[in-house]
Structure 1
Amino acid sequence: MISTSSYHPPLWLRSPHLQSLLATSPLRRARGALLLRRSGAVSKPYLVDGGEGIRLEGVHSRMPGGTPRGLALLLHGWEGSVESSYMRMTAVHLLRAGFEVFRLNFRDHGDTHHLNQALFHSNRIDEVVHAAVDVANRFLSGSDRPMVVAGYSLGGNFALRVALRGRAAGLPLARAAAVCPLLDPAVTMTRMEEGLPFYMRYFERQWRDSLRRKRDTFPEYYDFDDRVLRLRMRELTRWMVERHTDFDTLDDYFNGYSVAGERLAALDVPVDLLTSIDDPVIPVAEFHALRLPANGRIEIAAHGGHCGFLESAKLDGYAERWVAGKFADALPG
């Protein structure tokens, strides 16, 4: 089911590019840190098991006293981290709604490049599912409390794939939500190549820094030089796919983590998706073409950019409240 969002930003915030830029700004990052610090939650970092010797890192937060109504797993976007503004702000809203929260770093995100020798890529869903099971076993063992999962952008893509595999993996998964999830990576790559150069330059710079850090951490294993790092996004991705994945071609790699078209039809948990008509990275037409089960819902806003949905000069966001609200409304208090 597709519905029109109630989100309506003030006139000065209706540019999708301003929304997208401010969403990743240092000011908003500081705002997220302040809100989480003021929440009174107790937060603690953990190393979790990704299977086959893989280690991932995350942060668990909960309010002192009482029993949480459920455990929320949050997944960040590409080159984001558990400290991204939207991750912290969503955690705050979920904590207020009575959830405990685990924010998970993907491999090679945040300060985790040293934990695993092999590079991150977007088809590493098995380790994220395995980590989710470890998180559930740690914090839900012996209880009948449910687990929910949410993500933003690439994290939204991962959240949807976790939801597809969750029940089979033994996760007590009750619901999933995704904000501006990446649906078809091939389409998004072309969209960034043809759009304003800011988005492509931003992700290229972030990924190059990450690859450089990985090379410096494992110099005996990675010997690529700066000429590789100067490749544009498509060719740098092709280089990575051909040398550091089991996929034969770039198209095979993109198809491996696409959730477009009918790929979400097999979801067996309720799912909510939020996107905007003016998202400069992910075309809204992809959401109209999705085939979801009867318990799947898509909310489309006229404005919001890519993972923006900012509401005021304070840079608080509708999306973070939306995620917490969907989970809180669906589960008993």
Structure 2
Amino acid sequence: MTLVLPPFRSRFPWWGGRLQTVRNALVKPVAARPAAAANPLRLPVGDGTGDILHATLDLPATIRAEAPLVLLAHGLSGSADSYYMLETAARLLPLGFRVLRLNLRGAGPSRPDCRRHYHAGRSGDLRDAIAGLPAGLTARGVVAIGFSLGGNTVLKLAGEQGAAGPVRAVAAVCAPIDLGRTSRSLNRRANRLFQAHLMKGFKAEYVAPGAELSDALRAAVAAARSFVEFDANVTAPRNGVADAETFYRQNSARYFVPGIRVPALVIAAGDDPIVPFAPYREVDWAAVPAVIPAFTPGGGHVGHHGRDGIWYIDLIERFLATL
């Protein structure tokens, strides 16, 4: 597959990875909402918990013939209504794509209907969500696009399924492909504000009504001062894993990338202050011909605010046009 990668040029005054990352929080932009039918869906997961994922299916006025369904998976403390989810959907709908904005397990409106909670490796939830859709929606295939944590999930899904499975292609934006190094990076002094902001929303969501947690786990959630502590004392034991390092090894996308056989677009920025770029350098991308690496020196974390708009959405549009 050939994909022309346009250069990324930062938009004034958002220079540097940190400003690119916080731009939306400072400006509080409102995502465009083109005319479309927005249909709520409830999709059960198949692990016996009875958990139900809530999603919104956006349908364009005119569906493009042969266009796949586009599934969007959000990041940590996000939801189907996060800015990047809405903005991406708004850009794809006029092109004739049907877009499913999925709330991961325990996120947003999924919270009251879920006993468990999402993590970066719950690729099975995406498979279950796709399997629960009407056959007419998935007849032309599914393209799964993930942002940050959701990006790790879609890459893991693609690596697990190989050439045959529920997804026709995937795209990941600023995925933490090495979960352990990302957690440790967030615990650096320079990133403590990012970590505090992310943890506040995530911890509140984790224990909100609907969550099934023992008293000991609720206490561990409250006591965790970093994601390193949270993963060691909450994530690993709650998911039946011996320790955090085992959890990271079992769920980090970098270990699943070699198995990817469907077209995959991997977007990352060298100056991302949240997700360290070093693990991307350590992957032999040339050995995985299905993957298109789209790495830029700048862009921050799910930022890429360029002179002509959001660069990663431009790239996703180009990628979809090649399928």
Q: TM-score, normalised by structure 1?
A: 0.86
Residue matched to 1:295:
290
Contact 1:154-1:182 at 8 Å conserved across structures:
yes
Match of 1:253 among 244, 247, 260: 247
Structure 2 match to 1:238: 232
Number of the residue aligned with 1:156: 151
How many Å separate the matches in 2 of 1:104 and 1:169?
Answer: 22
Match of 1:43 among 14, 23, 38: 38
Match of 1:122 in 2: 120
| Worse overlay, 175-184 or 157-166 | 157-166
For these two proteins, the number of residue pairs brought into alignment is 314
- Alignment of 1:102 with 2:95, yes or no, is no
Answering whether residue 60 of structure 2 is matched by residue 63 of structure 1, we say yes
Work out whether 1:211 is the aligned partner of 2:206. Answer: yes
Q: 1:218 to 1:227 in 2, by over 3 A?
A: closer
Q: CA deviation at 1:166?
A: 4.2
Aligned 8 A contact 2:163 2:260 in 1: no
For the residues of structure 1 that align with 2:136 and 2:51, how far apart are their CA atoms?
17
8 Å CA contact 2:42, 2:53 repeated in 1: yes
Where 1:90 maps in the other structure, the secondary structure is helix
- 8 Å CA contact 1:56–1:112 kept in 2: the answer is yes
* Cα distance change of structure 1 residues 65 and 323 upon mapping to structure 2, 3 Å threshold: closer
Q: Residues 187 and 3 (structure 1 numbering): CA distance in 2 closer, same or farther, change over 3 Å? A: farther
- State the Cα distance separating 1:87 from its structure 2 match: 0.5
**Other structure's SS at 2:99 match:** strand
Paired residue for 1:271, among 264, 275, 282? Answer: 264
1:162-219 CA-to-partner distances (Å, cap 9, x unmatched) read 2223467742x32211111111011111111113311111121112211231xx4458
Runs of 4+ in structure 1 off by over 6 angstroms are 1-4
Cα-Cα RMSD: 2.5
The verdict on how the C-alpha distance between 1:48 and 1:183 changes in structure 2, with shifts beyond 3 A counting, is same
1: CA distance, partners of 2:26 / 2:81: 13
The answer to whether the 8 A contact 1:160-1:176 is kept is yes
SS in 2 for 1:112: helix
Query: Aligned to 2:42, what secondary structure does the other structure show?
Result: strand
The aligned amino acid for 1:223 is D
Bigger shift: 194-203 or 160-169?
160-169
Most deviating of 248-257 and 115-124: 115-124
The answer (yes or no) to whether the contact 1:59–1:104 under 8 Å persists in 2 is yes
Percent of aligned pairs sharing the same letter: 22
TM-score, normalised on structure 2? 0.88
Aligned to 1:202: 197
Where structure 2 has 5 or more consecutive residues not aligned to the other structure, the ranges are none
Aligned-partner Cα distance in 2 for 1:116–1:228 = 17
Structure 1: unaligned runs, 5 residues or longer = none
The answer to whether the 8 A contact 2:224-2:230 is kept is: yes
User: Residues 78-129 of structure 1, C-alpha deviation per residue, up to 9 Å, x if partnerless?
Assistant: 1111100110111112112221111111111112211121233333221221
* Distance (Å, rounded) in 1 between the aligned partners of 2:52 and 2:245: 28
